Structure 1
Amino acid sequence: MAFGLKKEHLDDWKRKIDNGEIAFLTHYWQDDRFPGCKTVTKVGCSDLEKLAEWGKKYQLQKAWIHHRKDGYSHFDLLGDKQKQILREEGLMEHIW
């Protein structure tokens, strides 16, 4: 379940994806399958090859891309891997 998501952040994420950029969106999230994870970061791009190449540098497999019919396909980042990637990307404001 997603919550704490601001419409302007979602709109900005979608705009960046539509422009072929690697886009980051972090929001509060709860799922019993992932105890201890309180946030998720969605990393998307309309160019799936570009997204897969980006993911390679963090050992993310192309098969892990969540393919969406609406065009907003993305990786879901959770836990320690999420924090590591956000730090390396210089996105400290996404770490809560």
Structure 2
Amino acid sequence: MIFFPIVIVLSLVLYIFFKVRILSVKDELTMRYTNAKARICLGILLFFFGINQYLFYETRLSLFIGIIFVFFGFIQAQYGFKLFKYFRKEILRKAEATG
């Protein structure tokens, strides 16, 4: 059961890291690419937090709340992954054009 808290803390640290890194990036395309990575980390955080809460409390209320967290975490991670793939292609296309 130590797996879920480790993933939750790791994804929280990565989410904060990517959000802070956005402040130092000047290029808007790279900024959006970094924000997509942050969305993936946030989705993983919500997903595993929802699972962990149900396994910790095991009540009907925690099940419903956990389902909501898992749902929104999955949607957030999926959307972040789509953005990640799109902006990665755009960055590679921009690199080919300039270089």
Question: Into which bin does the TM-score normalised by the smaller protein fall?
Answer: under 0.3
Q: What is the TM-score of this pair, normalised by structure 2?
A: 0.25
Structure number with the bigger relative contact order (C-alpha 8 A, sep ≥ 6) is: 2
Hey, which of these two has a bigger chunk of strand by percent? 1
Q: What is the TM-score of this pair, normalised by structure 1?
A: 0.25
Based on CA coordinates, which of the two structures has the bigger radius of gyration?
Answer: 2
